[in-house]
C-alpha cells in the first residue's frame, strides 16, 4: 500500500512567507490537485509541518541559508499554517517537528495529537510499504525525509515537479543524492 507524504507545504515556505521558495505556490496548487485526482492511488495521505517554538540556532538574524534561517513556521502564526491549496480534509495524519531544535526530516516528527508516535511507526502500522514524497524544500526537508524513508525500508518515489527547492543547484544535487540512495525520481 502506498502513502502520499506532503512535506512542509506551509505559508512561510511559499511566496509572501518569511522563507519563501520561488515555486512554493505552484507546487502547493499541484499537490492540492493531486490529493483529489490521485486519491484512489493512496491508502493514506499525510503531511509534515515545521513547527517551531524555540529552535535555538536554527533561527538567526544573519542566516546563512544552509544551517541557519530567518524566523519561520512559528507555532501560532499564519506562516506555520498549511498553504490554502492543501486539502487538509484529505489528510489522515499530520506530523510536526522542530519545536525546540532544527528538524528537517518528517521522520523526526510526531503525530500532532499523539506525542510519542513517529511517522515510520505510523506508516508501518497502517500497512504502508511505498510512499510518494512531495513538498518543500527539495534540498532540505524533502531530501531529509526521503533519505530517512529509505533507511526505514520504504520504497520511495519523489515527484519532482511537485517539489520546490530553496535554490536550483542544490535542488538538482539533492535529487541526484536521493536517486543514488535508492529513490525513484519521477520527472516532469
Ligand atoms: Zn525550520
The yes-or-no answer on residue 97 being catalytic is: yes
pLDDT value at position 12?
A: 98
Q: How far is the CA of 41 from the centre of ligand 1 (A)?
A: 30
Whether the Cβ atoms of residue 145 and residue 48 lie closer than 8 Å to each other:
yes
- Residues 135, 74: Cα–Cα separation, whole Å: 19
Q: How far is the CA of 10 from the centre of ligand 1 (A)?
A: 11
In this predicted model, what pLDDT tens digit does every residue of 64-84 receive, in sequence order?
998 999 999 999 999 999 999
Q: Coil, helix or strand for 2?
A: strand
Please determine, for residue 115, whether its predicted confidence score (pLDDT) is greater than 80: no
Q: How far is the CA of 1 from the centre of ligand 1 (A)?
A: 30
Active-site residue identified among 139, 141, 148, 163? 141
Please determine, for residue 188, whether its predicted confidence score (pLDDT) is greater than 70: no
The yes-or-no answer on residue 163 being catalytic is: no
Identify the structural domains of the chain with CATH numbers, from first to last: 2-186 (3.40.50.850)
DSSP assignment string, 11-36: GGGSTTSTT--TTHHHHHHHHHHHHH
In this predicted model, what pLDDT tens digit does every residue of 146-161 receive, in sequence order?
999 999 999 999 999 9
Phi, psi of 158 (to 5 degrees): -110, 120
pLDDT value at position 114?
A: 67
The yes-or-no answer on residue 141 being catalytic is: yes
* Mean pLDDT of the region 15-19: 97
Please determine, for residue 165, whether its predicted confidence score (pLDDT) is greater than 70: yes
Put the strands of the sheet holding 2-7 in their side by side order.
114-118, 110-111, 93-97, 44-50, 2-7, 130-136, 155-164, 184-186
Residues with CB under 5 A from ligand 1 (ion): 50
Closest CA to 10 of 39, 47, 38: 47
Amino acid at each position: 500500500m502506498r502513502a502520499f507524504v506532503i512535506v512542509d507545504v506551509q505559508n512561510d515556505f511559499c511566496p509572501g512567507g518569511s522563507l519563501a521558495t520561488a515555486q512554493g505556490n505552484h507546487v502547493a496548487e499541484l499537490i492540492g490537485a493531486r490529493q483529489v485526482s490521485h486519491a484512489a492511488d493512496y491508502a493514506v495521505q499525510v503531511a509534515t509541518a515545521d513547527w517551531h517554538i524555540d529552535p535555538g540556532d536554527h533561527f538567526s538574524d544573519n542566516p546563512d541559508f544552509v544551517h541557519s534561517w530567518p524566523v519561520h513556521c512559528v507555532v501560532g502564526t499564519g506562516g506555520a499554517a498549511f498553504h490554502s491549496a492543501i486539502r487538509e480534509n484529505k489528510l489522515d495524519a499530520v506530523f510536526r517537528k522542530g519545536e525546540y531544535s532544527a528538524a528537517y526530516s518528517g521522520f523526526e516528527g510526531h503525530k500532532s495529537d499523539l506525542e510519542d508516535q513517529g511517522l515510520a511507526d505510523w506508516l508501518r502500522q497502517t500497512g504502508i510499504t511505498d510512499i510518494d514524497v512531495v513538498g518543500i524544500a527539495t534540498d532540505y526537508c524533502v531530501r531529509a525525509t526521503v533519505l530517512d524513508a529509505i533507511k526505514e525500508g520504504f520504497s520511495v518515489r519523489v515527484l519532482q515537479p511537485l517539489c520546490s527547492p530553496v535554490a536550483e543547484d542544490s535542488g538538482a544535487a539533492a535529487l541526484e543524492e536521493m536517486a543514488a540512495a535508492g529513490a525513484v525520481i519521477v520527472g516532469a
